[in-house]
Amino acid sequence: MSRILEEELPRTYLEAVKITKTIGLRYLWIDSLCILQDSTTDWERESARMAEIYSKSYLTISASSSTGSNSGCFASVNTRNVSYTPHELESLGINKPTNSYILDDTRGIITRQYVANVVSKESRSIVDVNITLEWMPCSRKEEPWVYRIGVFGRLVDPVASEHLSSRGWILQERLLSPRVLHCGSAQLYWQCNWSFLGEDGYRFDWSNCNFTSLVEREILPNSECGIPTKSGTSFIEGWPPSNLATHGRWRAGWLHHIQNYSTRSLTFEQDKLPALSGLARMLASQTGDSYYAGLWERHIHEDLCWRVYPRQEIRTFVPGSFDHKYSRTLCVIKRPNEYRAPS
């Protein structure tokens, strides 16, 4: 085959081509077109190079809301009108609206602190809030949105709930790409090594899904990681709302990403380790650590402290007793019966 006619391209590919042309770039790499899908040899050779391809790319176009090659990069705007607040914003209270004030206007991005009314609480880490109209971005003046903020200082990832984020291979692609244009269901998001912005102007914590942050976490000494030697306590489950140093290798670290990866789906079971191998190889080159099928030699004691949560656990408070059950699903992990470790 010498060429592919533009009119023969699926909608998602065609829109990716248009984005590439608009930016002014000449080349576009699409895995399903550039790797022979019916050739095991070509797949093994090219899949081993994926980490290099994404890490050396100019830009990765992420069709985050797309469900397939024909659904397109740009989805219809979500009628629910949900967005997220930047990570610097924190509510000063509940049901007591006061005047907002400017916290920071560096780099031309204005960050405001505010008091908002809680609309609903969808999960342990996210609540919906209303923002007063006078502080809405100018593009949303006539169409107010419900915004979201992390509970107790927790970080929120605006594309975590998008369809593409459920795929295992996408994790290392996002971590290794120097720039990513996320085409979300509600708006576009720009992510690079120094910034994470929504189309409406809001800024997110860029370090939570960033290779540089991952390297910084992995070179932490054991004394700052999940199992302190003095107290005997473990931060394997959860983390405090402040003091980033105590998060060890969880927030933005390998353990955080492994838990995230374990909730994602793979078309082929045998891709479980290959889908992480490129990321692990580049991380090893930066840290000098040795990688063993999801575990790291320097942190082997911590990495072995894992457990699998059954799908239907229920957590309830038992009056007059310290005993309890699990009433929430911490994470849904799809795994074959023969799996023995989350790595």
pLDDT computed for residue 32 by the predictor: 86
Q: What is the mean pLDDT of the chain?
A: 72
Q: Which of 193-202, 210-219, 234-243 has the highest mean pLDDT?
A: 210-219
If DSSP codes are grouped into helix, strand and coil, which group holds residue 83?
A: strand
Whole-angstrom distance, CA of residue 183 vs CA of residue 170:
14
Instruction: Write down the domain spans for the chain.
Output: 6-75+162-208, 82-153, 214-326
Does position 185 have pLDDT exceeding 60, yes or no? Answer: yes
With cut-offs at 50, 70 and 90, classify the pLDDT of residue 143.
low
- For residue 296, give the nearest of 242, 326, 258 by alpha carbon: 258
- For residue 26, give the nearest of 51, 55, 59 by alpha carbon: 59
pLDDT computed for residue 236 by the predictor: 45
pTM of the model: 0.70
122 phi and psi, to 5 degrees?
-85, -30
pLDDT computed for residue 321 by the predictor: 52
Q: Is residue 184 within 8 Å of 159, Cβ to Cβ?
A: yes
